[in-house]
Homo-oligomer: A and B are copies of this chain.
Amino acid sequence: MAQAVRHDAMRAGNLAVVLGELDRRGPLTRAALAENTGLTKTTVSKLVADLIDAGMAVESGAVRDGERGRPGVAVHLSGHRVAALGLEINVDYLAARVVDLTRTVRLVRTQPVDNRSSSPDEVIGRLRELADGMLGEAAGLGLSVAGAALALPGPVDRSTGTVHSAPNLGWRQVAVADMLDLPLPVVVDNEANLAALGELWFGSGTSLGDFLHVSGEIGIGAGLVVGGELFRGAHGFAGELGHVVVSPDGPECRCGGRGCLERYAGQDALLPPGAEIGDLLVRLSSGDRPAKEACERAGAALGIALTTAVNLLDPDTIVLGGIFAPLFPWVSGPAEEALRARLGHMRAHVPAVVVSRVGADAATLGAAGQVVQRVIADPMSFLPTPQR
């Protein structure tokens, strides 16, 4: 029995090594996999057979083997069976994405809805319906969803799936994961953290160095990616850019503070009540002066908060996401100007400000991506049949 446990642990570790290698460098022949991992060819062949059975890997055509020049059959990740569900509750929409193991987006749903006018029960009920629908559609595509992750606009206790406080939703201490009660494992995380990971896995990747990803919605959050990993802080609450103090005696904020960035650059500060970001874009495109000035004010406030963030966090690059992605042409200039004016004297390197490649999808993609990471790190736990 102890032997069986040890054998299973070793097999679990080896499956993860092979799948991780396929993820990072596939397609690869079995010979190349053996060479890269240090496992024997026999072991690799058996592990690859298991991964193919599980629908996580698939053989492709013959490739030339770099080392020996003989053609061999290559193996690569398969997106045909295993998938992940990314969910998001934000202030004015619900969203869901199904992503397969190759990180290809397979299903997309976004429901505009004002969640501030509903109770957590109602909102979570609507999300459950959305998620159930997505699971059904995924099954129709032959996909088996390994797990879900949910993005929320506030600090989250990931161990219990509880959001401590989402001031823009008016939520406090809501046990979201329990209430959602989906028929698969669900983790809950902060929207801005997942958006930064979405940018890392589905957008700019590691090409930006260490980056601070800014998620602008009704609220504003940020996630810092250092060396390809998210910097979470001691309690997972780092990156609350929206509550950086821009002006200490400024207007009251829902967080209990005053003069927070959100009050100057959040969606509510940019748009008249009831208006949508699309309306603002139309006005901006037609050269509407008040619209441009609103963006300039928001960009300047963002630049002040980012100056502070750069002084504390020192990233290589700042990525503007969420609503700041479509508004980039109008907000990035004033933000960069503030950064250069305030930082240029003291630092050789003022971070570049670039636009997100995934925009408003970042958090939902990051959520799904987190499930994909879990499968790749521990494929044995997601094999379809019990192993003993």
Contacts and interface: CB of A to CB of B under 8 A. Distances in A.
A269 to B, nearest CB: 15
Q: Taking each of A167, A226, A314, which has the highest tally of chain B beta carbons within 10 Å of its own beta carbon? A: A314
Contacts of A34: none
A164 B343 contact: no
Contact of A243 (B243, B311, B348): B311
B248 A247 contact: yes
B307 A257 contact: yes
Contacts of A312: 222, 238-241, 244, 308-309, 312-313
A68 interface: no
Contact of A346 (B165, B231, B309): B165
Nearest to A348: B164
A314 B209 contact: no
A191 interface: no
Interface residues of A, number: 50
A321 to B, nearest CB: 17
Contacts of A241: 311-312
A234 B206 CA distance: 13
A304 interface: yes
Given A234-B209, A234-B315, A346 B308 contact: no
Contacts of A343: 255-257
Contacts of A24: none
A61 interface: no
A344 interface: yes
Given A248-B304, A311-B240, A314-B238, A346 B155 contact: yes
Given A210-B234, A233-B313, A237-B314, A244 B346 contact: no
A282 to B, nearest CB: 31
A342 B258 contact: yes
Nearest to A249: B247
A236 interface: yes
A341 interface: yes
Given A311-B244, A314-B237, A255 B346 contact: yes
Nearest to A264: B248
A70 interface: no
Nearest to A237: B314
B345 A256 contact: yes
Q: Taking each of A222, A245, A305, which has the highest tally of chain B beta carbons within 10 Å of its own beta carbon? A: A245
A295 B241 CA distance: 28
A289 interface: no
A338 to B, nearest CB: 9
Nearest to A315: B234
A302 to B, nearest CB: 12
B308 A256 contact: no
A203 B255 CA distance: 34
Interface in A213-251: 222, 226, 231-241, 243-248
A27 to B, nearest CB: 33
Closest 5 CB pairs of A and B: A233-B314, A256-B345, A257-B342, A240-B311, A238-B314
26 contacts: A154-B346, A164-B348, A165-B347, A167-B345, A209-B234, A210-B233, A231-B231, A233-B313, A233-B314, A234-B316, A235-B314, A235-B348, A235-B349, A238-B313, A239-B312, A240-B311, A241-B311, A243-B311, A245-B342, A255-B343, A256-B342, A256-B343, A257-B307, A257-B341, A257-B345, A308-B308
